[in-house]
Amino acid sequence: MDILLKYFDDFTAVQLEQLKALEGLYQEWNEKINVISRKDIGSLYEKHVLHSLSIATMFRFRPGTQIADLGSGGGFPGVPLAIFFPEAEFLLVDSIGKKLKVVDGIAEAIGLKNIRTRHCRIEEVKDKKFDFVVSRAVAPLKDLWQWSRPLIRKDNTTHTIRLIEKGEHAPGLICLKGGDLAREISESGTRPHIIAISDLFTEPYFEEKYLVYVPK
């Protein structure tokens, strides 16, 4: 928990309680349904929560923003982001239902009201458009963009310019990735913005980890 306070100093009392509760809840759920590697459960706040919150250092989700977490698994990055942005709305999608059972249980336990889950493949979501799709180490960028693009609402040029003037971002895909991305980006046909997470957080774990943003 201390590692979060190293980089963020504006949590509310409610957010602090929710974040503190995550460690015990994930340890308890992980005994029943393995959603986090056994070797990583002791580094939950660094490798999962802080990693997820790297998105919050660069992106501002205004009240009412609609976000889909593609292949959310046990709730990353969706759960930490939902805590950080309580007035944004999150849909966490995964094809493995038991993982979403963990998300539902944790959200209920900490009183997280801005999360919904859906047990399906992201391609099956046809009834909703989103401002952003977020994802963490799920698939190559080419696939992520192919799946996400139809779900991201269209934005007009004037609105996009206004967002940029406010230091905000146009609708798009935000994913957490690692390693050498050159080939993956080339094959995707996209022109993403790349942010090195090691420029945000100094821990060795974040070397060669990146935020990849593809605006629509």
pLDDT at 79: 98
CA–CA gap between residue 128 and residue 105 (Å, rounded): 24
The whole-number pLDDT of residue 171 equals: 93
Q: Which residues are annotated as a binding site for S-adenosyl-L-methionine?
A: 71, 76, 122-123, 136
**Does 167 or 140 have the greater pLDDT score?**
140
Binding residue numbers: 71, 76, 122-123, 136
Residues 98 and 31: their CA atoms lie apart, in Å, by 13
Per residue in 83-132, pLDDT (tens digit) is 999 999 999 999 999 999 999 999 999 999 999 999 998 888 888 899 99
Show the DSSP H helices in the chain as ranges.
Answer: 2-7, 13-32, 44, 51-58, 78-84, 97-110, 141-148, 157-165, 182-188
Model pTM? 0.92
Q: What pLDDT digit, counting tens, does each position of 16-50 carry?
A: 999 999 999 999 999 888 888 877 788 999 999 99
- The strand pair at 132-136 and 193-196 is best described as unpaired
Tell which residue, 117, 132, 113, has the closest CA to residue 65.
Answer: 132
Q: What pLDDT sits at residue 37? A: 82
Instruction: Domain 2-215: state its class.
Output: alpha beta
Give the list of residues 6+ apart from residue 110 with CB closer than 8 angstroms, or none: 17, 18, 21, 22, 25, 83
pLDDT score for 114: 98
Look at residue 165 in the predicted model and tell me its pLDDT: 45
State residue 95 phi and psi, 5-degree precision: -85, -5
pLDDT at 160: 46
Residue-wise pLDDT tens digits, 159-196: 444 554 455 788 999 999 999 999 999 999 999 999 99
Which amino acid is it at 88? A
Q: What pLDDT does 161 receive?
A: 43
Domain locations in the chain as residue ranges: 2-215
Predicted pLDDT at 137: 77
